[in-house]
Amino acid sequence: MDRGKLAWKISVVGSGGVGKSSLISRIIYNTDKASSLKSLHKKSIKLEGKNGPLPVDLMLLEIDPARNEEKLMAGSNAVLVVVDITNPGTLKDAERYLGLVENSDSSKITKLLATKLDRKYEAKIWDDELGLLAKKYGIEFFKLSSKTGEGFDAFFDHLKLSLLDRYYAGRKESA
């Protein structure tokens, strides 16, 4: 039986300039160079499903809640909240955005991402602060650079596993 291809929406949430577009480019093209001004991007991947390869389209959407875009998060399968390790104000923003996610409809996959890791010598956000915030919301945090790719594969592999787990857990519930 062909149930059609799966499409999962992933919201990339963060304040102006934290690196949302660069992260999406890293996910889609494996470079940090944004190649278009579209706000919705598609990445076709194959996950290692229980019964063989599971093709999925990831729909990536960039959202800046400071511009009142938070409604766009509705229906997301995953939300990636992004902070810029060189900009401490973005951690405060992230805390507010995590609150928005927590209060919205369902139990989405949520991850806290600290970007611009290639500029770690200018970092103004520390691991213990990231750890505390992540713990408060019961989520994991990752550090990565969209520019160099450092830390990206570990994060993306983890995200794919989380999405797969969620998919099979949901099917069990509805069976």
Per rule CB under 5 A, is residue 22 in the interface with Mg ion? Answer: no
b/e string for 48-86 if b means 16 or more Cβ within 10 A? eeeeeebebebbbbbbbbeeeebebbeebbbbbbbbbbb
Complex with ligand GTP: residue 66 or 74, whichever CB lies closer: 66
**32 vs 11: CA distance, rounded Å:** 18
Which range, of 20-28, 36-44, 49-57, 97-105, touches Mg ion by CB under 5 A? Answer: 20-28
In the bound state with Mg ion, the residue whose beta carbon lies nearer, of 38 and 135, is: 38
Q: 83: closest CA among 111, 106, 121?
A: 111
Select from 2-10, 93-101, 111-119, 128-136 the region that touches ligand GTP (CB under 6 A).
111-119
Give the SS3 label for residue 142: strand
* Residue 145 binding ligand GTP, by CB under 6 A: yes
Q: Which residues bind ligand GTP (CB under 6 A)?
A: 14, 16-22, 64, 115-116, 118-119, 145-147
